A and B are shown apart, each in its own frame.
Chain A
Amino acid sequence: MNTGFDDSREIGGRDPLDARLTPPPSEPTPSDTWLRRVLRRLRMSAAFGLAPVLAPALVFVPLGALFGPQGLNLLSTRVLQHLDPVISLSLATLGVFVGLALGRRPSWNPRLFVAASIESGVTILVVSSALVFLVRAWDMPLAMPLAALALILGVSASASSATHDATPGSPDALAARIADLDDVLPIVVGALAIAAVGRPGLTSILWPAIATLGVGLAAGVIGWLLIERAHSDAERGIFVVGALALVAGGSAYLSLSPLLAGLAAGMFWNWSPGRCDTIVREDLGKFQHPVVVLMLLSAGALLEYSVMALWLFAPFVVFRLAGKLTGGWLASKLTPTLASADLSSHLLAPGLLGIAFALNAYQYLHSAEGIAALTAVVVGTLASEGVAFAVAPGEADA
């Protein structure tokens, strides 16, 4: 049965490009050796050319750190400044993918969306609350509001990327669908958290978020009008890239969140008449990998290992685990369709979006706290991949 979401995974999952490269990995083969099984659990198989499912952060973040200013300095501070627009572009790309992944009728399932939002919301709540408590107890000096820092870390912790499974309705497939849907709430909360820094009053916080949605929707409408009337594949590709650049550039120029703007554009393309969503998904698949690799390399190069980052890292990993398990458990209890999915274990892998959230925050918070938060999130994401490997769902349960 076609669930409608098997080709709508965000980065980290199987996409049309992956599908063209290799067959799905979940079918056991005679050569399914112990090494292949370990690599698959590490979600690193594709990095060795064994399977399309990969955790690219495990490969490219360390490479970025190696090439960065604190390593070989190939990615010097000056180069990183020039890569800043690429980061905005990759954030907008991820936002568009999240918007497209919401699915369109009849595959749109409000219950699954609510469950996913509960799962991510609980994770944000657990991580943020724990960090507020700990940072106060530590008497850690901060030059930014504690709530904003805690929310940024909580939002980054809420991202998840379950391994895709070709079997419709299987726990893996359900978890993958939840992992698609649970990114919407963090993107919105993250945009609000960034807007809250240095802005007093609810109105001054909400206004940037509304403006971001406006930018995304405007770029979406422009892209839709152009894409639907393109006469050739090349022309269509140009319009897709142009619309994406408009989303990223417009939001970055206005100091807004490219993730939220991309989400708005993706949702518009998803629900607009015509084939715009399919076209965009196919065309973005052609250049998503280079853009995302550049984003991960930049994230690795931007890392600065400070005492503050070290202190934020440990609770980030521990309470992300607690939040994911609690959120997954609650979501599965509140939604009958997920009752037996062993959802929590499937959602422990963090994927890329957490790093994207932290980069998005860092773009607007070039302070010691912003760098410390980015470092804690990136290193915590790598550590969480290890946790996901250790707490992977058992074969018998899957």
Chain B
Amino acid sequence: MPESSPLPPSSPRGSRRETRLLLLTLVVSVAVLLLLARFRFPDRQPLPALSSLSSTPDPLARMAGTGMFADMRATLTDLLQRLQLSVVVLRLTPDAPLPQIGLAADTLTGQPRLVPALRFREDLAVTLSSGRARAEVLEAGEVFDASLHAHDPSRALSVYRVPGRAMPALTVQSQANLLTTPDYFAFVEAGVGGPTLRAAFASRLDPVPDSTWNASLLAVGGLPPLPAGTLMFTLSGRLAGLVSAQQDVATIVPGETLLQAAEQLPPRAAGSSAADAGIDVQALSPALAKAASADRGVIVRHVDPAGPAARRVEVGDVITAVDADPVDAVARWLQALARRTPSTTVTLQVRRGGKVIAVPLTLAGADRALPAPSTSTSAHTGTTPPWATQPGLTLRAVNGSLDVVRVAPGSPAASAGIQPGDVITALPGRGALSNTRVAAAYQGLSSGQAMLVALERAGQPLLVSVEKP
């Protein structure tokens, strides 16, 4: 409208009416404001902590107590009641640690631990443990004995025989369904009074191939820290899996894989221990593989002289298979033994000196003590020639073995990881052990070739490869 437009005559009456209306409205508005501010929005649970939050509280904290969370609480409460019969709380008191297996919770602290176990049959429950712990079932304030029914040391998977109870049918969420969308899951841990449950959102589930389980595990992102052995269920009560380890992300053994492995574990004979070959092995590193002329398998680092493999298997042998089961990792070796019972005869495929031989063995029980370290009684000081003729070791002969007195810095021996205090127990494939034999074996190597040296360090056997530069 142009500014020159004629305007209506001034109307003081209208202006006064407008002002009165405005004042009245403002007064009423302020009163309404103060009145309404005294109320609290319904559907909010009384959460005293919220009152101390800042003006922009955390969104999850703001959501807490709403109907959504009330529904979640009711769902979890109902789920916990249903899972009471499917989950057993085990108290594991370790008898002795098992150093080469690091997954089982009961071997990590040495203290009694409570772990949840999944009752997959009326009297059998599966969990992760070293198998060397005394197990008890905590149930309704009472304590019952549980016995180890089957055990797989490579996967730290243990099946315990527990007091029989009627249990609901166990339903399993398929791995394909787990991978479809991120979702909330219920994680069951062990408490003194019974299983405890908490919900957490799994933002990512990615399949990760795992040779130990011979299946794909699930790497689950976005979870809070969870102890190994924690059971994972969907909010509808289906078994989703079991937490096997958690570093940056949790690794979950899917329910199908877990139950299949538990069902396939052979039961141990009453009073017997697991099968044992009297052999300690270690992984085939590139250096060891080069020295042993093998591309796969596990390398023998110690042979129990009183065990079934004595005089049949030598330190430095590379085991490539047990019967028809290929062995390409230490876990596979342990797994192969776990599937067999004592007194079983097996055939090892062994690569020795470039040839493959078959070695029949009758397995014994696993109660085998590791050899104690030798003690020195006499001394003989060796020399440290240049690296072309000597590996850089100062050795002392002690009752058929050689104590490492000194390792020259920068020498081939130092590069191989030999340390002062190690005890050389054998030179695989090179006959009797002596100081001069070590020097002769080394001198016999061409540049770039390596020889195997069997050691004992802190009571544990070890195999290293010393390469001539």
Contacts and interface: CB of A to CB of B under 8 A. Distances in A.
B170 interface: no
A138 B35 CA distance: 11
Interface in A375-398: 391, 393-394, 396-397
How large, as a class, is the contact surface on chain B?
35 or more
Contacts of A136: 55
Given A394-B14, A394-B17, A341 B28 contact: no
B11 to A, nearest CB: 5
The residue among A106, A325, A343, A391 with the most chain B CB atoms within 10 A of its own CB is A325
Interface stretch (A58-66, A169-177, A357-365): A169-177
A141 B17 contact: no
B21 A109 contact: no
B26 interface: yes
B41 A138 contact: yes
B324 interface: no
A142 interface: yes
Contact of B33 (A4, A134, A311): A134
A319 B29 contact: yes
Contacts, number: 128
B437 interface: no
B13 interface: yes
A interface SS class: helix
A141 B26 contact: no
A214 interface: no
B7 A340 contact: yes
Given A111-B3, A141-B62, A344 B18 contact: yes
B44 to A, nearest CB: 6
Contacts of A391: 21
A340 B1 contact: no
A337 B7 contact: yes
B96 interface: no
B59 A143 contact: yes
A337 B195 CA distance: 77
Contacts of B6: 1, 168-169
Interface in B261-289: none
Contacts of A10: none
A384 to B, nearest CB: 13
Contacts of A168: 5-6
A139 B40 contact: yes
A142 B21 contact: no
Nearest to B32: A318
B36 interface: yes
B10 interface: yes
A311 B41 contact: yes
Given A134-B36, A315-B32, A5 B25 contact: no
Nearest to A5: B1
A107 B1 contact: yes
Given A139-B41, A143-B59, A318-B32, A337 B3 contact: yes
A168 B63 CA distance: 55
Contacts of A315: 32-33, 36
Nearest to B63: A141
B458 interface: no
Given A169-B7, A337-B7, A325 B21 contact: yes
B17 A342 contact: yes
Contacts of A109: 1-3
Nearest to B53: A139
Contact of A397 (B7, B14, B59): B14
Nearest to A311: B41
A5 B1 CA distance: 7
A4 B1 contact: yes
A5 B41 CA distance: 46
Contacts of B59: 143
15 contacts: A3-B5, A4-B1, A107-B1, A109-B2, A130-B33, A141-B41, A142-B62, A143-B59, A143-B63, A315-B33, A318-B29, A326-B22, A337-B7, A340-B7, A342-B14
Interface of A: 1, 3-5, 106-107, 109, 111-112, 130, 133-134, 136-143, 168-171, 173-174, 177, 307-308, 311, 314-315, 318-319, 321-322, 325-326, 328-329, 332, 337, 339-345, 391, 393-394, 396-397
Given A130-B29, A342-B11, 20 more contacts: A107-B1, A109-B2, A109-B3, A133-B37, A134-B37, A138-B36, A138-B39, A141-B43, A141-B66, A170-B8, A177-B1, A307-B42, A307-B43, A311-B41, A315-B32, A340-B10, A340-B14, A342-B14, A344-B18, A391-B21
- Nearest first, the 8 closest Cβ-Cβ pairs linking A and B are A397-B14, A137-B37, A322-B29, A138-B41, A140-B41, A342-B14, A3-B1, A325-B22
